[in-house]
Amino acid sequence: MQIPLNLPILSQLADSQNILIAGAGGGFDVFVGLPIYYELREMGKTVHLANYTFADTLSMTRHSDSVVLLDQLLVGTRGKLQLPLGYAPEAYLADWFNRGAGEETTIWLIEKVGVPGVVTAYSELVDHLNIDAIILVDGGVDSIMRGNEEGAGTFLEDTIVITAVAELKQVPVRILAAIGMGAEHEEMVCHYNALENIAALTKAGGFYGSCALIPQMAAFAFYRMAAEYVFTETENEASRIQSRLIPSVLGEFGSYNWLNHPRQPDDVFHSPLMSLYWFFDAVKVSEHSYAADIIRGQVSFRRAVAALMTTDKLQVTRPRRKLPL
């Protein structure tokens, strides 16, 4: 029996028809939006995909069917790849849509720039696609880190995108969805601090609820097929986060190495916590961030990094703590 993904954000999306699902932190983040993408399309919504990218978009325009909306800022990739591209999650996902799902689906890539450029790119995409809701997706939970925590992970990319989307007042619905609690092993994310942030967002009215992926869901099967194609049938490398999230949904517990991932440590702890989506008001997340104001005006990613490293306005005041469980 197929079970629907019981999204807790349907009331927020009730009046939305053209929805953009976008990877917040770049890399493979867009993949964790695929179950939501599938479920909303089943409900009759028009849904688009985008990602804050680490890929070489210039090479992508040469070796895939691409469209450039803003030069060196916003590119769409679709259809079959002409040759291997190395690290290019978005292009391989578009390739799977064409070959595996029989669809010509455009994946939009936003260059890895600072907040002003990301605002410009999203504004152009919102106008181009007539977007009335944005759901940012994060593989892991460091997107909700405020910047004053020990164990904040690699939160800067997420913070840049969340800060930019929070400025898009023309879009009435702006949501953040994070999944994969416990998967950010190498980043040493502190989950005590992450849960404390969720509690603070709950008090502020910014937490919309949670739901779990389970094996019986068609939405999960759709996501799994895309991930397995990209990770096993192409020359693209596998995502560490997805390689932990998927087996956790399938019921693996403790140490496990899905697809014999070469960078999978033995002490990664797989659990049902990894299969949970956590949904937030993206504007509230931005308002709670101590880093947002520091990086808001930085035009490049490098300058955003420098601003965080040199500021005296952001101190680590919340040390790592263990959960008393």
Main-chain phi, psi angles of 50, to 5 degrees: -150, 170
Average pLDDT over residues 59-79: 88
Position of tokens 């702890």?
Answer: 269
Q: Is the pLDDT confidence value at 234 over 80?
A: no
Tell me the CA distances in angstroms from 36 to 3, 4, 149, 279, 285, one per residue in order: 13, 10, 29, 12, 20
Phi, psi for 198 (deg, rounded to 5): -60, -40
For the segment 172-186, the average pLDDT, to the nearest whole number, is: 96
Cα(278)–Cα(307) distance, integer angstroms? 29
pTM above 0.85, yes or no: yes
Q: Are 137 and 23 in contact (CB under 8 A)?
A: yes
- Mean of per-residue pLDDT scores for the chain: 94
Q: Tell me the average pLDDT across 177-195.
A: 96
What would the 3-class secondary structure string for 115-153 be? HHHHHHHHHHHHHHHCCCEEEEEEEECHHHCCCCECCCC
Contacts of 189 (CB under 8 A, 6+ apart): 140, 141, 142, 145, 151, 152, 153
Q: What is the mean pLDDT of residues 106-115?
A: 97
CA 35 vs CA 49, 134, 213: distances in Å: 12, 15, 8
Q: Nearest 5°: phi and psi at 292?
A: -55, -50
CB atoms under 10 Å from CB of 43, counted, come to: 11
Per-residue model confidence (pLDDT) at position 1? 65
pLDDT in tens, 116-174: 999 999 999 999 999 999 999 999 999 999 999 999 999 999 999 999 999 999 999 99
Residue 233 scores a pLDDT above 80: no
| Separation between Cα atoms, residue 242 and residue 258, nearest integer Å | 9
Reported as a pLDDT band with limits 50, 70 and 90, residue 62 is confident
The answer to whether 211 and 39 have CB atoms below 8 angstroms apart is: no
**109 versus 234: which is more confidently predicted?**
109
Tokens matching residue 83: 């040759």
Residue 68, SS3?
A: strand
